[in-house]
Amino acid sequence: MMEKVNLASKFSDLLAILQMQKFLRMEALGGEIPFFISTYAPQQELELVKAVHGLVNKLETKGIKVLEINLWQIVMDILERELGPSEIFSLEEQMDKDEFKQALQSVLDINEVLMPEIHQRIEQDQAQLYFVTGVGNVYPFLRSHNILNNLQNVAKDAPTVMFFPGRYTGQSLELFGLLKDDNYYRAFNLDNYKL
């Protein structure tokens, strides 16, 4: 089990960083994509949801528009639109876990369905900052490194912060502190960001 972090202190630091014009203008990135990862212990998921909501409110009162890209909510919106609300549960009852996972991945094709949906939301919202949440909720049918690799094409006009339930070493993502995802090294670890 991962050690819990002090979310009040962490989010106070995040507020200080995220409202800086230097951060919002994506300066000092050395040509890298403006992706940042902020980690937390998976057992703090409910606290994190509240903390993110509070952070969005504080940033918006300072005139900084934030778009929360909640992967779980987007997935549910797509599935309800494509299959209908009760069909998802019916399929889950009829299929074994692997078949169900493959069916979900087919409906949620990352290039044909998921990224266009996220891109449309980004275009409509015109935010200065993107938050990616719900990462743990969409595992195993969506993987965080795959999301990040594909987001590069649609979320490049503003800094993107992924709230990740696990560890990020700067080289790899470890979902829940247990499951090593493919290597991913293009994001900055926001937990080590210096003002």
Q: What digits encode the pLDDT tens for the residues 160-171?
A: 999 999 998 888
- Residue 184: pLDDT band with limits 50, 70, 90: low
Contact (Cβ atoms closer than 8 angstroms) between residue 64 and residue 129? yes
Q: What is the mean pLDDT of residues 154-164?
A: 93
Instruction: Tell me the C-alpha distance between 137 and 21, whole Å.
Output: 32
Residues 89-108, buried b or exposed e (16+ Cβ, 10 A)? eebeeeeeeeebeebbeebb
Question: For residue 173, what are the CA distances in angstroms to 21, 111, 161?
Answer: 28, 21, 14
Helix (H) or strand (E) holding 77: helix 71-83
pLDDT of residue 48: 96
Is the CATH number of domain 7-20+32-192 2.60.40? no
pLDDT digits (tens, 9 = 90+) for 43-76: 999 999 999 999 999 999 999 999 999 999 999 9
Beta strands in 17-159 (DSSP E): 35-40, 66-70, 129-133
Contact (Cβ atoms closer than 8 angstroms) between residue 182 and residue 145? yes
**Token representation of residue 51:** 């903390």
Domain ranges of the chain: 7-20+32-192
Lowest pLDDT segment from 30-34, 80-84, 91-95, 127-131: 30-34
Contact (Cβ atoms closer than 8 angstroms) between residue 96 and residue 104? no
pLDDT digits (tens, 9 = 90+) for 87-143: 877 888 888 888 888 888 888 899 999 999 999 999 999 899 999 999 999 988 888
What interhelical angle do 85-94 and 71-83 show, nearest 10?
A: 90
Residues contacting residue 189 through CB under 8 Å, at least 6 positions apart? 36, 37, 39, 168, 170
- Residue 2: pLDDT band with limits 50, 70, 90: confident
**Token representation of residue 131:** 């938050």
Contact (Cβ atoms closer than 8 angstroms) between residue 44 and residue 7? yes
Specify the pTM. Answer: 0.92
